[in-house]
Structure 1
Amino acid sequence: EKNPGLFSLAADQTFKSYWEEKSQHRSALSQVYFSGEEPRMNIAYPLGDEHCLYTTVSLKALWNKITQTRIASTGYAFLVDEQGRVIAHRDTQLALQKSPATDLPIVTMALKAVTVGSSEYTHPRLHKKIVGAFAPVKGLNWGVIIQQDKEEAYVSVYQMRKQAFMLILISVVAAACLALFIARNLTRPIVKLTEAARHVAQKDFTTRVSVKTHDELQDLAETFNEMTAELQHYDKMQVDKIVEEKTKTEAVIFSIADGILMTDREGRLQLANSQAKQILGLPATGWENYSLWHFVKAPQLREAFEEIIKHPEQNIVKEVDLSDIQMALYYQLSTQEVVTPEKKEKIGLVTVVANITLEKELDRMKDDFLHSITHDLRNPMTSIRGFLKFLLDGVGGPVTDQQKKMLETMDRASHRLLGLINDILDIAKLEAGRMVLNLTDVDLRHTAQRIIEISEGTAMKKSITLSIDCPENLPAIQADNELLERVFTNLISNALKFTPENGRVTVRIREQGDHIETAVIDNGEGIPPEYVQKIFDKFQQVAGQRKGGTGLGLTICRHIIESHLGRIWAESKLGEGST
């Protein structure tokens, strides 16, 4: 330099900073400043305790490197100092003014980072998606940042993705076409076999399949053709036999005097003989697969068939009264579920509709005759018992012991016969609805206990334990006490009669919601299943178990209970007892 001389640095901020901290022997760095448009930086480096090396460094080359860095059209680099101010930027004015850039999230991250990093963010002023990377400048706490529009930065990725998608799409389409071509060649013979099998299922045994693949499929097609040929031959042989069997079956069904009809489980008609057509009013043809309700108009028949269709698993027997003023007409409907013999598949219901008008009329005539005869016998039998009483009491004169024994036998027999007559007359009244109920508040526990006390003598003869199982707080019911006593007497007498010695008979009474359930339980020999429902019919007794009685006691019990709007039934297991 011309005319060299000394000049003072006492006012220089870098020198001041160095001199204040010289005891620590640390270098001092100035802030970046510009001389014109040239970025410079002052450095004071210690040389011993009293001297230092003061240097001014030009950063022009570094600045040019940063500002000339370009990435595509929108990407560039810039440099910020430790306070986040721009000190190198492609826009020189921002660097000259040291504009703050801390509003950019990536700048804040760069100043805090200790290693390189990257980030995506939205530019606060440009409102664009930006992708950037940063690297901290160690020792100076500066940060170098490179940023670029996200859309431009990922344009190659988007293009590669699009190209990959197109390649995949083309590959999928090509593979699908190839698979379709191969599948068609493979499935065409199978489709032919399937179509032929469908024809065979429709009993068309003339179908043949032609497959020329020279592999296992061709062997299968040839075997299929052999099978259809055999089926065709067998079908021709069986047609005549099937027709013959069908003719026989139809002859049997249509010659039966009772009406027979078959329905599916939804009530659609499948078969009906002429008698069933006449009873239900079916047309001669065109009724197949029609609903039963389309033809049945009588309310009684509809109700019966509704119960039958609703409970197909039960073998229901229903009597239907279709009588009118001019003519009595009764039918009995009995059902049986139809099950295929091999697969046990439930396919419908067969209902037999039998005209039982004649049987009903005969029963009515028999009952009328029996009631008339018993009514006419009642008065003479009462007179006979009265005179027997006189003879036994000696009113007609003294009798010998042998004569007295004969009279007592006659008295017992007449008493039994009068009881039978009274039972028949009582049943007639109950069936005709002429039995008047004397309704009062009845304590069932008290009534049952009274009959048990009366029956204890019979129970003691066979050493039978006779007991009652009833809660203390049982509510009273409205009923005819005398008729209920008769029911308890009949039921307990029956139980004692069929219970072996040292057995047990229990009268159990329970409150069940809005009604009271009473049961007479014994551990006797039990009732065969086929008689459980019949024992409440008139004169019905279990075969081989006759131990006296007329067979009317349980019938009277049934009528009495039903007149009180109740229900009576029996439950039994052979060898375990009855309820």
Structure 2
Amino acid sequence: MVRRLLLYVTVLAIVVIPVSMTCWKVVQYARVSKAQIVDLHHHIVRTLALNTTSYFNQLNMRLAFAPLLARAKVWSDQLAILNNTLLSNSDFACVALLDAEGKEKVKARDGALTFLNKPLDYAAHPLFLNVQQTRTADTGPVYEVGPYSFFDILYPLENGQWLLVVVRWESLKKLLFEEQVGEKGFIWVLDETGRVVGDSRQAQVGKALSDWPYFKERLEASDDWKGEFADPFKTPSVGAGRWVKGAGWFILSAQPQEEAYAKARQLRLSAFFWMGFSFIGMILFGYFWVKHISLPITQLAAGVYKVSRRQFNQKVPEDFGLDEFRALGKAFNNMMKELKVYEDMQVERIVEEKTTVQSLLYSISDGIIMITQDGKLSFTNEPARAWAVDVAGRGKDFDYAWGQLQQYPPWSEALQPVLENHKLSMSEEFEFPVQGRARWSRVMAQHVTTEKGRVMGTMVVIRDITQDKELDRMKEDFFNGITHDLRTPLAATIGYLGLSEMQVPENEKELSQLVGSARQSARRALGLVETILSLARLQAGKLAINKVPVNARELIGKIGRDMTFHAQAKKIKVSVECEDEDLWASADQSLIERVVENLTGNAIKYTMENGWVKLSARRVETGVELCIQDNGRGIPPEALNKLFGKFQQVKAEDKAVGFGIGLSFSKGIVEAHGSTINVESEVGKGSKFFFILERAAAPAPASAPA
């Protein structure tokens, strides 16, 4: 009796304790979810603040003409500059030049906005008075004129005049209020006076909240905030807020605590309910266990112990406990008879080895399929069965799915040569359409042989690589998208810098050099964008290679001159070596120039100060060899194998940064020319990159005009 009682308590402890711990974990998760809700609001306001700052930076880029406007003396020139600026951004409603007293001198405006017809006078405007004192650009509050909303930005110019820009609020409003949390959540934008200039629900726009205690605290602290608070209507809320520097706006994302914590509260109540329910259920189960299960199991355990001592003549009673235990007793006694036979046949070693192999194959996460020499399935683990049913089962069993796979041409064509012993192994990637999306798998097949070389069959290993493919596609889509977005502002920047360079006085050589350097840097940035786009076209097979005769000496000389200014910052000497003036190669000049420029830029990046980089070209037996060599850090041997992969970089001590696409692009372009890039490198001594192009005849000189 005492033994059964102890067993009963033990069963309760074994079952109830894990259930209780699981419910307690659910309660803890409910607490953690509160912190996650706060972090979600903090992520939203941080993203919105960054987007708003980016929006104002884009507006400032459009106003790069300001120095020109300050120097323009003629009214018509001033009006032309303002009109061009107004047309450069659809968000601009009016661009005006104000005199030192804040009164309009000249303006360009949207003709549909009649309220801008009268002359502008900002002499007594709070924005003008503030900027007049601080002499720094500032943003005014949002105001409404009829059905439209606007805000002003005022910039001081170098000659005491002022540049006023009236900006439409709608574009920024859409950017700020495109997402919110929960059905009752809201996003507010407040200016420094406490006035609500924007509301995702359009309920509090224009309302003054300067006396709101929460807002007063935010005025005194400029750092980010997140947590619980009371809204102006005393409703307990949770959220996060952040000031937008340069705009004087505070962005707040929040929602009522009642809505935010509803799920967490529900989880906690459910956990307590199931904890109590499980405890009562386990008490009843324990009683049933002790009475109907534990005693038969004890008798079976005694019999099993004797069997472990190789007493195969042992028998257990067949008339005790539940019907299932009676059947188990009969099966146990029959097993004893079979074990006696197996012992006599000495097959223990075979059974043990087979069990070990099967356990190993079943524990592997990849799908494993064994096919005999006559094409029949001898083994499949669970991952393989699940994979086959998923990609080809159409809701049916594994046998049906396997038959469908044999009718899929890419699968059968790749696997059949191995099954027919024409090939020893194969490894290919397959795309299977599953429920409207692509499912990628890497399939490897290889013969299984004995120690004496006899082929026992073919083992097929299946690995799901869908996630890897989707990650690669996301990277490519991200870079392709961002490069398209960068292309236009970079082109505009180069144009503005070119216009600025033309306006620099001849005696300002240092300023002219700085503007020229900035323009060259912008061109290199645009070159990077073009490199990414070209790489995408190259991978898609849409990049055309237009080969023409290219003078190798002129090519490396031009790039050497272009990269010299970049190298001077690290006191690196860039030299060019080519003795043959009549050395011509057949290549796409624009693409090969970018390849050499990429390799030269990498050489400068990974070369220490006072080092050297050499560009050379020479005639070889198979064509024209272009070489870029440096005495930098060198490349570790373990990094050479993945050097030309996308998004791969060799870490440097000075933390040189980049996207890891330059070498991948260069490799693709050189291979498109029918060649390969070779690398020789030694850590601490430097690196050498070289490739060979097809030699071309010098182009015929242009005929003189008649």
- What's the TM-score once normalised by structure 2's chain length? 0.35
Asked which structure has the greater RCO (Cα within 8 Å, sep 6+), the reply is 2
- What's the TM-score once normalised by structure 1's chain length? 0.41
Q: Which has the larger radius of gyration?
A: 1
